[in-house]
């Protein structure tokens, strides 16, 4: 029996996090330097229905039957089985590995779901479509995050830069000219659901101010889209700086993230901002390739656990 494997990239949000939950646009790009991978091996000689799950990165070795139904790994398999109208899941072993930082704003949970959905459905000769995969991964994200906007499952499933508005048909983004981003990991784990819920409390307290902040972020995202589609890369840096300032006003930055942003800019980055939910996780900086070493060193000196240099290629 052949093994079926599939992988899915990490992602970062370039513009528009948090405001996207309130209907404003956001831009996200896949990051192929980090990935989640799933390998499915059929076990025809095993007990019928016995699904073994191995996820060594999180020290998990169990069976599907032993996991609660709302455990994300169980939920993804039950949802896949139901989308494929399976009456039972054939015996198999599913091994999941990932080098995407957990709770770091790089989409680790959505990437794990997408990789499993692809490998598992292919192993049964019934590969799910991208649309189905993105929807099922979204439903699993709802278990982790409560009210996800859907941006993670979308960009990770399609593996291309996306311009995303909640509940609106997704648009992939043309990139006129390649550009380089440096991602710096604070190493601080920050669960998305709690930061999203704090922003929601802020919005309930001061609706007008938050709506203004979200509008300003939406306008920045719109300008960034034009800049990316027309190859005006120089103007992306200042837009990232402005987006970071607005995220600070929403209260989702942190001393570590502000320190990284400052360090990156002082070392020659063209712009920098936090990426994802905030409070921890990652910072992203736009860099000229010639300045990237200097910015990496500055981030390391500021305490970055690790850095990832990634090129967003022209399409
Ligand atoms: O931390 P991440 O990358 O999962 O990003 C969360 C992005 C938010 O806009 C804060 C929430 C969402 O669901 O879009």
- pLDDT of 109: 92
> What's residue 215's pLDDT?
98
From 10, 12, 14, 17, give the residue whose CB has the most ligand 1 atoms within 8 Å, as the site to mutate.
17
Burial group, residue 150, by CB count within 10 angstroms (0-12, 13-18, 19+):
buried
Query: In which band, very low, low, confident or very high, does the pLDDT at 176 lie, cut at 50, 70 and 90?
Result: very high
Q: Residue 204: its pLDDT value, please? A: 97
Check: CB of residue 161 under 8 Å from CB of residue 312: yes
Minimum mean pLDDT range among 59-73, 91-105, 257-271, 291-305: 91-105
Class of residue 251 by CB neighbours under 10 A (exposed 0-12, middle 13-18, buried 19+)? middle
Separation of 242 CA from ligand 1 center, angstroms? 18
- Pairing type for strands 51-55 and 92-98 reads parallel
**What pLDDT, on the 0 to 100 scale, is given for residue 47?**
83
Q: What is the chain's length?
A: 315
The whole-number pLDDT of residue 1 equals 60
pLDDT at 249 over 90: yes
Helices (H), 108-181: 108-123, 130-145, 151-158
- Whether pLDDT at 169 is above 90: no
Is pLDDT above 90 for 236? yes
Residues 183-211: tens digit of each pLDDT = 999 999 888 889 999 999 999 999 999 99
Going from the Cα of 275 to the center of ligand 1, the distance in angstroms, rounded, reads: 9
Mean pLDDT of the chain: 94
Q: Which atom of ligand 1 is nearest to the CA of 278?
A: 1
Q: What is the mean pLDDT of residues 231-251?
A: 97
pTM given for the model: 0.92
pLDDT of res. 235: 96
Residue to mutate (ligand 1; options 72, 137, 152, 283; most atoms within 8 A of CB): 152
Mutate to test the pocket of ligand 1, among 102, 112, 151, 165 (most ligand atoms within 8 A of CB): 151
Q: 297 C-alpha vs ligand 1 centroid, how far in Å?
A: 28
**pLDDT score, position 143:** 87
Ligand 1, pocket residues at CB < 6 Å: 13, 17-18, 20-21, 105, 107, 148-149, 151-152, 192, 196, 276-277, 281
CA 148–ligand 1 middle distance (angstroms): 7
Instruction: Give the ligand 1 atom nearest the CA of 147.
Output: 13
Instruction: Give 105 Cα–ligand 1 centroid separation in angstroms.
Output: 7
Cβ(96)–Cβ(112) under 8 Å? yes
CB neighbours of residue 44 within 10 Å: 9
More confident residue, 282 or 2: 282
How confident is the model over 69-115, as pLDDT tens digits? Answer: 999 999 999 999 999 999 888 999 999 999 998 877 899 999 999 99
* Residues whose CB falls within 8 Å of the CB of residue 111, separated by 6 or more in sequence, listed in order: 8, 9, 10, 11, 35, 36, 98, 100, 156
Residue 65's pLDDT is 95
């Amino acid at each position: 029996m052949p093994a079926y494997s599939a992988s899915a990239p990490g992602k970062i949000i370039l513009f528009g996090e948090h405001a996207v939950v309130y209907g404003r646009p956001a831009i996200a790009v896949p990051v192929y330097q980090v990935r989640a991978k799933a390998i499915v091996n059929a076990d025809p000689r095993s007990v019928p229905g016995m699904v073994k799950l191995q996820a060594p990165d999180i020290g998990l070795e169990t069976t599907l039957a032993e996991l609660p139904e709302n455990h994300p790994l169980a939920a993804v398999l039950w949802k896949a089985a139901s989308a494929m109208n399976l009456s039972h899941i054939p015996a198999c072993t599913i091994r999941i590995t990932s080098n995407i930082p957990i709770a770091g704003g790089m989409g680790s949970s959505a990437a794990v779901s997408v990789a499993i959905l692809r490998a598992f459905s292919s192993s049964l000769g019934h590969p799910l479509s991208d649309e189905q995969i993105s929807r099922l991964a979204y439903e699993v994200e709802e278990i982790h995050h409560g009210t996800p906007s859907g941006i993670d499952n979308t960009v990770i499933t399609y593996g291309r830069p996306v311009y995303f508005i909640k509940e609106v048909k997704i648009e992939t983004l043309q990139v006129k000219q390649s550009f380089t981003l440096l991602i710096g990991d604070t190493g601080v784990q920050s669960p998305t659901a709690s930061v999203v819920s704090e922003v929601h409390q802020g919005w309930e307290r001061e609706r007008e101010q938050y709506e203004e902040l979200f509008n300003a972020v939406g306008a920045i995202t719109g300008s960034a889209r034009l800049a990316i589609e027309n190859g005006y890369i120089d103007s992306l840096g200042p837009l990232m700086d402005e987006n970071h300032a607005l995220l600070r006003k929403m209260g989702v930055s942190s001393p570590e993230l502000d320190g990284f942003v400052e360090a990156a800019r002082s070392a020659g980055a063209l712009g920098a901002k936090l990426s994802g939910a905030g409070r921890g996780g990652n910072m992203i900086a736009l860099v000229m390739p010639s300045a990237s070493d200097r910015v990496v060193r500055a981030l390391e000196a500021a305490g970055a656990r690790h850095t990832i240099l990634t090129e967003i290629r022209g399409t």
